[in-house]
Amino acid sequence: MGSEVPCSLVSGRSTLIQRRDDARAESNRIAGEVRAAGKAGEDTSSLVERARELKAEIALAEEDHKKVEGELRAFLLGVPNLPEDRCPDGDSDEFAVEVRTWGTPPAFDFTPADHVDIGERIGIFDFARATKLSGPRFVVAKGVGAQLERAIAQLFLDIHTKRHGYTEFSLPALVTRETRTGTGQLPKFEEDLFKTGIGDRELFLTPTAEVPLTNLHADEVLAADDLPLAYTAWTPCFRSEAGSYGRDTRGLIRQHQFAKVEMVRFCDPETSSQELEKMLGHAEACLQDLGLAYWVVALPAGDISFSAQFTYDIEVWLPSQQRYREISSCSDRSTFQARRAGIRVKSKDGKRGYAATVNGSALPIGRTLVAILEQGQQADGSVVLPKALAPYLGYARINPDGRTS
């Protein structure tokens, strides 16, 4: 069925175009005959009647053509990007291939606690009151917890803007249907999205800053000499986490609302692989500055997202689970999003083509905080914080009673 449907739509579209064009050609011919007959004083009633019939035929053909174009576009919007040949084979994270590791997972002479127990014990998380406010899969961070979230985000933004040359943006959290279609979430994943509206105005909550950052240049033509463009933003993110119920329901791993620093790069399609490697290094720099042990894996073809052609995942070590868990995905989207959003590039010689987009998380604040608490926990119940956060916080340790020093 996957091949029959588009073939019938394409052939039907071609037939309608031919029917419309034939009717237009005949209409033009009839119009010339009417003018000639009129000048000669001949009866034009039959020609005029045929002209009316052709006008109706053209209108009907255009209406049918518009309908088929809509069906064809809807079908094409449901077709995913094609994975690169270099993607590992497989259809789940079990087939991911290790690329490299960094740091040494901490060893403890006690049973490490998970971030929920640590955070509630030192008084920086309140899950019960968050549930009272909004239901499950939300958290209230208070005191030092709120300070930590802000400090982590500021560190990441400084790394990207001051060290790696990204331009920072402050963005809307509500976007249009066209915006989410441009990056690939619509129409395929509409049931998984948070949306709202007033009257007949429909808006979607952003799942990541990738959506508004990429669509900043929707329906625009970029100058090739200006590429690559590197953008970053710290935004709230909203996700239904459909299909993940029963998994990671405890704590900060899968929340309906969380904050994240995102990176997006616009580049020439010929350099997107190199830009992906560069972006991966920028994401890794965040974890390296924090001294958090992690590894990088290449995702298999069957496990990459709808709009990606190649994806690296960075997974950080969580002592409570004795395993690496995803903290960042960096993906090469090639020209997939640019084609949907109409983002073109013009070279000096006037040639035009589509841009390529690359995006990555660097990093989600909540999952980073999870790793900081778990890798930094001490036998006495305190938490030693990464030195890189000291300039933003003014302290380096959270004591067992929740006080800082």
> Is cis: bond before 187, omega within 30 of 0?
yes
- Please pick, among 326, 339, 344, 397, the residue that the annotation labels catalytic: 326
- The CA distance from 18 to 8, in Å, is 15
User: Which tokens go with 73?
Assistant: 């576009």
198, β-bridge pairs: 201
329 as an active site residue: the answer is yes
Give the 3-state secondary structure of the chain. Answer: CCCHHHHHHHHHHHHHHHHHHHHHHHHHHHHHHHHHHHHCCCCCHHHHHHHHHHHHHHHHHHHHHHHHHHHHHHHHHCCCCCCCCCCCCCCCHHHCEEEEEECCCCCCCCCCCCHHHHHHHCCCEEHHHHHHHHCCCCCEECCHHHHHHHHHHHHHHHHHHHHCCCEEECCCCEECHHHHHHHCCCCCCHHHCCEEEECCEEEEECCCCHHHHHHCCCCCEEEHHHCCEEEEEEEEEECCCCCCCCCCCCCCCCCCEEEEEEEEEEECHHHHHHHHHHHHHHHHHHHHHHCCCEEEEECCHHHCCCCCCEEEEEEEEECCCCEEEEEEEEEECCCHHHHHHCCEEECCCCCEEECEEEEEEEEEHHHHHHHHHHHHECCCCCEECCHHHHHHHCCCEECCCCCEC
Contact criterion met (CB below 8 Å) for 96 and 326: no
- Please pick, among 328, 329, 361, 382, the residue that the annotation labels catalytic: 329
333 as an active site residue: the answer is no
307 as an active site residue: the answer is no
> Is cis: bond before 363, omega within 30 of 0?
yes
- Please pick, among 340, 367, 374, 382, the residue that the annotation labels catalytic: 367
Contact criterion met (CB below 8 Å) for 320 and 112: yes
- Please pick, among 20, 239, 265, 333, the residue that the annotation labels catalytic: 239
- Please pick, among 254, 339, 344, 397, the residue that the annotation labels catalytic: 254
Active site members: 239, 254, 326, 329, 367
